[in-house]
A and B are shown apart, each in its own frame.
Chain A
Amino acid sequence: MRIIKFELYRAFRSRTFLISLIIGIVICLLDLITYCGQFGLDGQRFLVQAWIGTDYQFAYNEMFYIILPIIACLPYGGSLYTDMKTGYEKNICIKSSRSQYALAKGIAVFLTAFVSVALPLALNLFVAAGFFPNFVPERLEFMSIGLRDIQMFTLIYSYHPAVYCVIYILIDALFAGAIALTSLSIARLVKSHFTAVVTPMVIYIISSMLLEGNQNSNWSVLGMMNPRQYLTTRWYQMLIVYLVIFAVNSTIIWITSRKRDVL
């Protein structure tokens, strides 16, 4: 559909998408530089230890996962609010139906968030792979608490650590897409572009604190996105939480877009 192409063009050429990518890449590269500076390149460290997703030595891992909702929403999440506020959506809604417009917005927001999160994590992994060998480390060595059998992808983590990293890059990017849809679903409730972009982070931090649970069961979104798995998440918990976020946001966007006045 033409409207999807139109929205994707706007989204991927926006300055906010570039800013978001830069923020993510800077954090990921700083982590790697700090890691190399601290531990050197003596061959004693492995790829999976140096990758930002599983690196527990420095604060960059926490930093990245806490601001992940911002990295996801910043590229294009506030665009619906801006289109409504400036009246630009009038230009679109006389050439496209409201439901098509909402679908195109959703796809553009999802994909920009996906790329904004996946690219820095993948770049960090790629660059780290140039310095650190992809050895299989002792099972209990790679993380502060080690990986237990009840945690997800344990075997992949133990025998194919690089694949484990790639799986988590995809999981994080998919979660980022679903989280970014929140900024679209709240666009009609907020009073500024800033609020539309920042509110999802507030929602996910608060909900994650409330749902953190314990080391054996976790419903916290921010906790389950972290490849360090400092909280044990079962696959069904991750699937349920993802589907709930995606379904709730999609339903709100669909209901509020379908029959509404463009003023």
Chain B
Amino acid sequence: MSEIKIEGLCKKIKGAVILDHISMTLTSGKIYGFKGKNGSGKTMLMRAVSGLLIPDEGTVVINGKTLHKDIPFPESIGILIENPSFLSQYTGYKNLKMLSSLTGQITDEDIKLALIRVGLDPSDKRVFRKYSLGMKEKLGIANAIMGEPDIIILDEPINALDEESVRKIKDILLEIRDKGKLIIIACHDREELEFLSDVIFEIQDGRVVDRKEISNEDI
């Protein structure tokens, strides 16, 4: 079970307000959707939750531990924020294997399973630079979900994917959520976001302007 408590989060970059007193509580077993225009602060909020952004004010508390105070990064997290970036000279499998070696908690079977789930072949000999845009996106998603971490953050995960792949990713996310994981996604497609999310936060100019619980009737 995971709980993320964000309290009074503020961040300025080069004088511009990126996050403005954001507070919210996110609990496991739910998918949270972040909605907002380009530059509204969705991605920056995701970065802050991932520990990549150091806030000027406020805190991100994950399971009672404050980021950058008690822990330098979340203990169990998978992310895909902006473009998937991997080492171009290695295959998808090799890339994930190298990254998984950083924690030592993910087995080879977990990696293969994650690749198969998103529709990639673990034995594919093509190196990352030869991948199509869709394959790169899928590898990014596989990287985020491998080993099924407690928190999964996906920024625009279905942008470069075809319809069948989108369906597959949606099924995976719902399945992972039902296992009690906490998922945060940002998506431009309002319908997709509403279909996937249990709660949607609307973000504008670095502030949360609306919080909406999605029930089955809304979809």
Contact = CB atoms under 8 A, between A and B. Distances in A.
Interface string A252-263: 000000011111
A94 B82 contact: no
10 contacts: A2-B103, A6-B98, A10-B87, A87-B83, A88-B85, A93-B51, A95-B73, A95-B102, A261-B52, A262-B47
Interface string B81-111: 1110111010000000011011110000000
A5 interface: yes
Contacts of A98: 72
A45 B190 CA distance: 81
B53 interface: yes
B50 interface: yes
B73 A94 contact: yes
Contacts of A103: none
Contacts of B101: 2, 5-6
Interface in A73-125: 86-88, 90-99
Contacts of A5: 101
B59 interface: no
Contacts of A93: 51-52, 73
Given A94-B79, A96-B73, A87 B85 contact: yes
Interface in B93-148: 98-99, 101-104, 143
Interface string A228-263: 000000000000000000000000000000011111
A9 interface: yes
B214 interface: no
Nearest to A15: B89
Interface class of chain A by DSSP: helix
B85 A94 contact: no
B169 interface: no
B193 interface: no
A262 B99 contact: no
A36 B47 CA distance: 61
Contacts of B89: 15
B199 to A, nearest CB: 23
A136 interface: no
A5 B81 CA distance: 25
Contact of A90 (B54, B72, B85, B102): B85
A44 B144 CA distance: 67
Contact of B54 (A95, A97, A99, A261): A261
Interface string A1-18: 011011001100001000
B61 interface: no
Given A90-B50, A90-B52, A262-B52, 6 more contacts: A6-B102, A87-B85, A91-B99, A94-B79, A95-B102, A98-B72
B74 interface: yes
Contacts of B81: 87, 90
B54 A3 contact: no
A94 B74 contact: yes
B200 interface: no
A88 B86 contact: yes
Contacts of B196: none
B85 A97 contact: no
Given A93-B52, A98-B72, A262-B52, A86 B85 contact: yes
B195 to A, nearest CB: 27
A209 to B, nearest CB: 37
Contacts of B79: 90, 94
Nearest to B88: A86
B7 to A, nearest CB: 19
Contacts of A9: 98
B185 interface: no
A82 to B, nearest CB: 10
Nearest to A95: B102
Given A87-B83, A259-B54, A92 B102 contact: yes
Contacts of B78: 94
B107 to A, nearest CB: 15
Given A86-B85, A87-B83, A260 B54 contact: yes
Contacts of B82: 87
Contacts of B52: 90, 93-94, 261-263
B73 A91 contact: no
B56 to A, nearest CB: 10
